[in-house]
Amino acid sequence: MSKKAIEAKKIKKYFFSPGKTQVLKEVSFSVNKGEFVSVMGKSGCGKSTLLYILSTMDTDYEGEVFLDDKLITGQSSNYLSRLRNEKIGFVFQFHYLIHEFSVLENVMIPGLKLNEKSREELEHIAMEKLKIFDMQDHALKKANQLSGGQKQRVSIARALMNNPLIIMSDEPTGNLDKKNSDMVFGIFSEIVQEFQQTILMVTHDQELASKTDRTILMEDGMVISHG
């Protein structure tokens, strides 16, 4: 069994509008299983771009990405969809909950999509995930009845639903006040410690980054420090 959850090898990314610009310049790094890694760098240095490539949503790049030691570069989009469903949990800056569904249903969706367990089992698992964040009392509320911090907790629970190999997060606290961002960060630390969850988190909060296992520093499309 390999130690590496995800590995990027010489990732290059170009944008063509307006004019050809290279946003990522041979980015290579890896994240070990059970590690909590943060990525920092100035705005516009390519952090989000990198994260979209690693999450398999962006397939237009050069270089290679390995997930659990398997090469995922060049795989079919159906294969990648399934991979995202099963192995990757994504937490965005904006929660992106489906407002017409209840909190519980929102958390269950990745499990329903994976379609390996019965609905009852999935409901039970989703409830367990909500309990981690003390959100079980809100399970039957509609998603749009929650506050910003609560929504972000639900979206983390959703990312955890299929027990993913890695959780990726693009500035999850960027849109929250100090109290709520501390809480979200607290949750991340907790699931790393309790469940050995691997997390790769982009942030521009120096204080939060310093509390992670390791911080990868980026500048101008390149990694300048692996922490």
Nearer to ligand ADP, 15 or 195 (CB): 15
Query: Under rule CB under 8 A, how many of the chain's residues touch another protein?
Result: 31
User: In 3-state terms, what secondary structure has residue 193?
Assistant: helix
Does position 101 interact with another protein (CB under 8 A)? The reply is: yes
Give the dihedral of Cα atoms 55, 61, 67, 69; nearest 10 deg: -170
Work out which of 33, 34, 75, 92 binds another protein, going by CB under 8 A.
92
What letter would DSSP give residue 97?
A: -
Amino acid present at 119: R
Q: What residues between 28 and 67 interact with ligand ADP by CB under 6 A?
A: 41, 43-49
Tokens of 182: 């501390």
Q: Report the nearest approach of another protein to the CB of residue 78 (Å).
A: 5
Q: Report the nearest approach of ligand ADP to the CB of residue 182 (Å).
A: 22
Does position 86 interact with another protein (CB under 8 A)? The reply is: yes
Lookup result for tokens 């109290």: 179
Does position 15 interact with ligand ADP (CB under 6 A)? The reply is: yes
- Upper half-sphere CA count for residue 185 (Cβ side, 13 Å): 25
Does position 112 interact with another protein (CB under 8 A)? The reply is: yes
Does position 115 interact with ligand ADP (CB under 6 A)? The reply is: no
Tokens of 220: 């101008």
- Say whether the peptide bond before residue 164 is cis (omega within 30 degrees of 0): no
Q: Which residues pair with 166 in a beta bridge?
A: 88, 198
Binding site for Mg ion (CB under 5 A): 48
Nearest to 168 by CA among 135, 148, 197: 197
Does position 158 interact with another protein (CB under 8 A)? The reply is: yes
Q: Enumerate binding residues for ligand ADP (CB under 6 A).
A: 15, 17, 23, 41, 43-49
Footprint on this chain of another protein (rule: CB under 8 A): 48, 52, 55, 57-58, 77-78, 81-86, 90, 92-94, 96-101, 105, 109-110, 112-115, 158
